[in-house]
Every structure is written in structure tokens, then in C-alpha cells.
Amino acid sequence: MIGAINAKKKARSWFDSLSRQDLDAFLAGWAEDATFVYYTGSSISGEIEGKEAIRKWFQGLMEQFPLTSFTAKNIFVENLFTLGSTNTIAIVWDVKWQYKGGQEGVSSGITIVHVKKGKVVLMREYIPKPVESWHSHVQRCISQSPVG
């Protein structure tokens, strides 16, 4: 049970750091060769490989969305008793966002995180299709920003 408590605290800290736009805190526990996968069923969907490329992708997103507020609603942990070395965590979340042009919206998604040897090695984002406004703004963000 202690492992589940630690994993849930870590997951909440990731989303808190994204809300603060603190990429150093967000990426602190990531492996150098980690992979971030963004699934939206669009042209911006894909895999970003390597911690530095992931940093650049999120930096581009944050430049386009200067105000975001993430809420981790539900967190599920696969291995309840592990103390953090290897685990899979699923987070159901909401985000309130403001695009740099002033548009505002709310979206939801699910993040699946694979941790090995205490480091994030794979994070997958799943965002449902009905949230077209978030999706279209993210697509615009990625297309306008240099992403590794």
C-alpha cells in the first residue's frame, strides 16, 4: 500500500508542476531515453523520444497556453506494494486552459505512465475526440513551434 501512496503523490506532483509550468520539476524523474506519446488521432499525434525533445515539445505547448490548471481526478496504480522501482500508473485528469490569444476551455484525458527503476520511461496521453477546441489549439501550437 505504501507503494501506491508514493506513486499517487508522484502523479499529482507531475500535474501540479505542469500547472506551474515548471518543466524541471515535471521532468526530474524521467529517464534520459524516455518516450512521450500523444494520441489525438490527428497529424500532431506521435512519439517524442528523449528527455530533451520531450522538454521542447512541452515548452512549445506552454508558450501557446500560458495558463493551464490540471486536476488529477483519479489515479490508479498497478502494483500497490512496490516502493517505486517499477510500476504503471493511470491518471484521469481535467485541464482548464487559456490559449495565448485569450480563448479558454476545459478538456479531459487519461495518462498512462510506465516507471522502471524509479524513472519515467514511457508516458502516453489519451485525449478523447469530442474536445475539438483543445485539440485544434494544441495542433496550432505544435505546428507553430519548433519541436524536436
Domains of the chain: 2-144 (3.10.450.50)
Residue with grid cell 485544434, as numbered in its chain: 136
Whole-number pLDDT of residue 83: 63
| pLDDT by 10-residue block (mean), the chain, 148 residues | 78 94 96 91 79 93 88 88 78 90 87 92 83 51 45
With contact defined as beta carbons under 8 Å apart, do 90 and 115 qualify?
A: no
Tell me the C-alpha distance between 110 and 93, whole Å.
6
Q: Which three cell numbers stand for residue 115?
A: 516507471
Locate 81 and state its grid cell: 506494494
Task: Give the position of cell 499529482.
Answer: 12
CA 86 vs CA 26, 62, 70, 77, 114: distances in Å: 18, 29, 25, 11, 8
pLDDT given for residue 78 in this prediction: 86
Backbone angles phi, psi at 122, to 5 degrees: -155, 130
Q: Give the model's pLDDT for residue 118.
A: 86
Q: Is 143 exposed, middle or buried (0-12, 13-18, 19+ CB in 10 A)?
A: exposed
Separation between Cα atoms, residue 129 and residue 74, nearest integer Å:
20
